[in-house]
Structure 1
Amino acid sequence: MLLLSITLLLTLVSLIFYYCFILQQRYQYFHRRGIPTPPFRFFFGHMKTLWNVPSFHRQLESWTQQYGKIYGIYQGATPTFVVSDPDFLQEVFVKQFLNFPARREILAGNRFKNVFSSAGATWRQHRHVINPTFSAAKLKMMSPLINGCITNAMEKLSNHAESGEDFNIYTYYKRMTMDVICRCAFGIDTDLQNNPDNIYFKKVEEIFARSFRLNPAVKFSQLVPEMACLVGKLVFILAAVRAFVNIYILPLVTKNQIYELPNTWLFNRLNPIIEQREQTPTSRVDVLQLMLQVMTDQKIQDDNSQDTSKANYRLTRKEVISNIVTFMAAGYETTSTALAYATYELATHPEVLEKLQAEIDQLPLSNDDVDEEAKRYPDYDIVAQMPYMDMFVSEVLRMHPIANAAVQRCAATDTTVQGYSIEKGTLIHADVYSVHFDRELWGPEDPYEFYPERHETKRHPMAFLPFGAGPRLCIGMRFALIEMKILLVRMLRDYSIQPSDKLETKLNIRERVVTAPEEVWVKLVPRTV
């Protein structure tokens, strides 16, 4: 027994020493390539620093100023190129897309993929099925639905305008954008703007109230990527067990429930939406309908399949649900946050507000062939032909990029980019802030000044990254832009925006799942046009 114990102890010590040796070799990755890297700690790499700063991406921007446009960091022991060189990024995101087809999945083990997290053949399936929803023709058809949701929001805003009080407008943006994505993508009339206590809305809000990068399971997966798949599977198994207990057991004995992560709570309770649509035939062509047309209960080919025939593109029921959760979350938070930043800039730049209102006042919103109510409603064709609005929204997204964590890629094979040797598994992370505030890319005007007219000049294709780049460019980009523009047209046609005394103190920009303000306090003043 003693001999066995000694043997086991020696084996364990040997494994530890071997693992430390492997780590030490990994930490030579950038040194061997002559690439600068900030000081780091053994085992943690740069993660201890990045976990303890208010903003992961502002810290990258700070290091870029010290180490240049291409440098390296270690997320645990995983080498990561941090890049703000646009030519390098163009090769990764566009020219060598097949070598960098996806992001790294930090918490692996989830078998139910979606258009955001999948790769290879699975990603092509999801993208091909969902793409038609966001064509110009479909967006035109959605304009009345979007306007209907905005009408509800305008009724709420008018109450504040009439009273002259200042208020947090971000709250109304969140309810409105969730209402829009539910109606336009899934045909669900949630009436969220009159029922903000809707449980689905609360759960989606909860997703964005947490810092994903500080989750203990995510931290461990970053430090020990070899265990990421096992950790992920355990997390998802525990989530499934909690959901089963909450749905089928606890209601029989108590009103209390075990806590579930909001994303898994949603995943386990969205099946009725699919069942209801299956039982109710419709002529609607939205995201849900397109996914239902290819939904199957049969086994789906894996990521390594070479069969890319579009006729074979299918989604499982759980993949459909996973996409619903993804679109609910992404369509709600990113668009409402962009509107919040847009409102902040309008409140603090009255000269920009006046120019935008001047363009809006020239819009052909009156037509004798339509009813009086419809005269005031801009549609797809109208807002798509507003040059100053385009420049304004682009400048908002340049100065306030929202989903920076998504602008990364993982090498699927050994390759070379701009003379740099990159091994399989290495991450490429775009330093979006450094790109968006680069004077060489965005001058001659100061890039830290809000100046919409800078977008009149053609820039490098990788100089503007709020929606990512390449084939994995945000699939809902045009939908989000149209939604934003329609709301801004209708609001600024009737009101001017003035800053509240609380605007700066309540803003408190935080980086969690996305980079967003806490509150945006303003006053709406009725216009006399």
Structure 2
Amino acid sequence: MFELFSKLFTLAVLGIIGVVTYYLWIWTYWMRRGVKGPRGKPFVGVLNVLLDHEKPGLLKLGEWTKEYGKVYGYTDGNQRTLVVSDPAMVHEIFVKQFDNFYGRKLNPIQGNPDQDERVHLLSAQGFRWKRLRTISSVSFSNGSLRNIMSTVEDSALEFMKHMEEKSANGEIDMLDAYQEYTMDVIARVAIGQRDNKMFSDQNELLKIVRQIFGGSRKYLMLICQVFPVVGQAIRSLTFKYPKIAPFKLYLMIKKAVMERKEQRDRELENGVEPGEPQDFIDMFLDAKSDDVDFSKEAREDFSKRNMKITKELSADEVVGQCFVFVIGGFDTTALALSYVTYLLTVNPEVQKNVQEEVDAEFGDSEIEFEKLGRLKYMDCVIKEALRLYPLASISNSRKCMHTTTVNGVEIEAGVYVQMDTWTIQRDPTIWGDDAMDFKPERWESANQSEYKGAYIPFGLGPRQCIGMRLAVMEQKVLLTHILKKYSFETGPSTSIPLKLVGSATTSPENVFVQLKPRNQ
């Protein structure tokens, strides 16, 4: 008995020594390579700082950039991260050397992107990502967006009915209101919800998604990032217990997808041909591409994972894509609308210019898909808002898959590269002395090549956000409806400047404004 205990004790001590040695190796990685940066603490690095909800970690990057320069390193848990705010390096990593940087920095609770059957575009990498992107791209063509335009329009009209009532009662927190709108659009186009549940206590989907985004999970995420095995254990629990918010959402989406698939199968058996797709479930079930990579290298890659390459999405993959569009499209579009609203509110002359453009283009006529493209000044306003307040900047990261050199800096395989998007997009050496000013006119004559690698609100290169055009369409439809009827004005609770919070995304705490009817 004593001998067994002695062996177990020895193994435990050796295990502890091994773990401590590994984390000390991680923690001292950048020091050993002579790279400057915040050192943080053993085991956690700077993770506790980055996860601070009250002071967004993505803004902390800017402070460190001022202190350490445009290239520096830190450790966050068991990960080594190089921070970059040099546009030339950004373009090199995202575009020119994409084959060396095709992986993404993942949530520690996410599954293995090479093995997970539920993998989606955000987490997939390599040939799996390439296949998913190729097939899914069909669903974001002009024709597909035109098909769902009427659905977006219905949500916007319903939103306006609620605004008429709420505007009469004083200030409105437009961030909360826009979340109702974006959730309604997503529920309709991503999971086929037919009835309207905007501003309703019965909106179960919105409650679930707010649970996923809401609250501080700082210590949970810290533990999972430091000890990945804990993250995977939590993931296993998440997909076994339906009361946990992410799994509730997954089951809700899976139910909608499988019911639609069974309905379509029955109709085909009865000789009923499918009509025009009205939402992403239809589009993803219909999606097929002859451009899928069937090269020997791709076939071998899939074979290693006991998978076959197909030109269509499996049912699990359809669920995965719908899941990520619910998560990815809810918060970001609501935030974009909130930032635009704030900037128009505190810049009434810009707001007037947008209203004049809307009046000239639409007048009393209905909003049409083709005409949205003519709102050039509104395009400039949205671009400028996203320059000053980039969304989900944490997604502007890549994993180095093969050791390489970028602009003289060697980056080893396994190292993550995080772009300091806020610094790049507000850099006066790139944007001029008025870089901190809201100036939509800068985009009217902008040479896009001039800002290569410096404007990345939706990412850059092959992994640029696939839903970008849908997000902009949602914004333009709703802003057109609002600005035709109302003007944004400040109220007693309007925060100037905005108070920003968050960790994974950077969000205003609130955006209180007053909606004043234009005919008064």
**Shorter chain as normaliser: what TM range?**
0.7 to 0.9
Contact 1:147 1:377 (8 Å CA) reproduced: no
> In the TM superposition, what is the alpha-carbon distance from 1:488 to its structure 2 partner?
1.1
CA distance in 1 between counterparts of 2:80 and 2:198 reads 45
> In the TM superposition, what is the alpha-carbon distance from 1:507 to its structure 2 partner?
5.6
Unaligned ranges ≥5, structure 2? 265-273, 289-297
CA distance in 2 between counterparts of 1:311 and 1:18 reads 40
What are the within-5 Å matches in structure 2 for residues 54-69 of structure 1? 54-69=55-70
CA distance in 1 between counterparts of 2:170 and 2:238 reads 44
Distance 1:174 1:49, change over 3 A: closer
CA distance in 2 between counterparts of 1:305 and 1:6 reads 46
Q: Give the match for residue 148 of structure 1.
A: 154
Q: Give the match for residue 124 of structure 1.
A: 130
Distance 1:411 1:190, change over 3 A: farther
Amino acid corresponding to residue 34 of structure 1 in structure 2: G
Query: 1:268 is matched with which residue: 251, 269, 272?
Result: 251
Query: 1:453 is matched with which residue: 437, 441, 444?
Result: 441
Distance 1:434 1:302, change over 3 A: farther
Q: Give the match for residue 434 of structure 1.
A: 423
SS at match of 2:495: helix
Contact 1:408 1:429 (8 Å CA) reproduced: yes
Contact 1:176 1:192 (8 Å CA) reproduced: no
CA distance in 2 between counterparts of 1:510 and 1:525 reads 28
Q: Give the match for residue 109 of structure 1.
A: 111
Q: Give the match for residue 290 of structure 1.
A: 283
Q: Deviations over 1:159-200 (max 9, x none)?
A: 244x36222233332121122122233432140226343111
CA distance in 2 between counterparts of 1:495 and 1:15 reads 65
RMSD: 2.6
Distance 1:513 1:191, change over 3 A: farther
Contact 1:377 1:490 (8 Å CA) reproduced: no
Q: Deviations over 1:413-432 (max 9, x none)?
A: 21111111111110000011
Distance 1:27 1:514, change over 3 A: closer
CA distance in 1 between counterparts of 2:148 and 2:3 reads 74
Amino acid corresponding to residue 355 of structure 1 in structure 2: N
> In the TM superposition, what is the alpha-carbon distance from 1:123 to its structure 2 partner?
1.4
Contact 1:208 1:512 (8 Å CA) reproduced: no
Query: 2:163 is matched with which residue: 154, 157, 161?
Result: 157
Q: Give the match for residue 491 of structure 1.
A: 482
Q: What's the TM-score, normalizing by structure 1?
A: 0.86
What are the within-5 Å matches in structure 2 for residues 256-405 of structure 1? 260-281=243-264, 282-285=274-277, 286-293=279-286, 304-305=301-302, 312-363=310-361, 365=362, 376-405=365-394
Contact 1:211 1:513 (8 Å CA) reproduced: no
Amino acid corresponding to residue 504 of structure 1 in structure 2: S
Contact 1:210 1:513 (8 Å CA) reproduced: no
Q: What's the TM-score, normalizing by structure 2?
A: 0.87
Distance 1:306 1:383, change over 3 A: farther
Contact 1:125 1:315 (8 Å CA) reproduced: no
CA distance in 2 between counterparts of 1:466 and 1:487 reads 20
> In the TM superposition, what is the alpha-carbon distance from 1:310 to its structure 2 partner?
11
Q: Deviations over 1:80-119 (max 9, x none)?
A: 1011011111111111111111213222436221111111
Q: Give the match for residue 476 of structure 1.
A: 467
Contact 1:506 1:521 (8 Å CA) reproduced: no
Percent identity of equivalent pairs: 29
Contact 1:495 1:524 (8 Å CA) reproduced: yes
Unaligned ranges ≥5, structure 1? 244-259, 296-300, 367-374
SS at match of 1:81: strand
Query: 1:181 is matched with which residue: 173, 183, 186?
Result: 186
Q: Within the alignment, does 1:221 sit opposite 2:218 as a pair?
A: no
Distance 1:311 1:240, change over 3 A: closer
CA distance in 1 between counterparts of 2:508 and 2:146 reads 31
Q: Deviations over 1:207-228 (max 9, x none)?
A: 111345x252x3233223xxx2
Contact 1:140 1:379 (8 Å CA) reproduced: no
Q: Within the alignment, does 1:525 sit opposite 2:516 as a pair?
A: yes
Q: Within the alignment, does 1:423 sit opposite 2:416 as a pair?
A: no
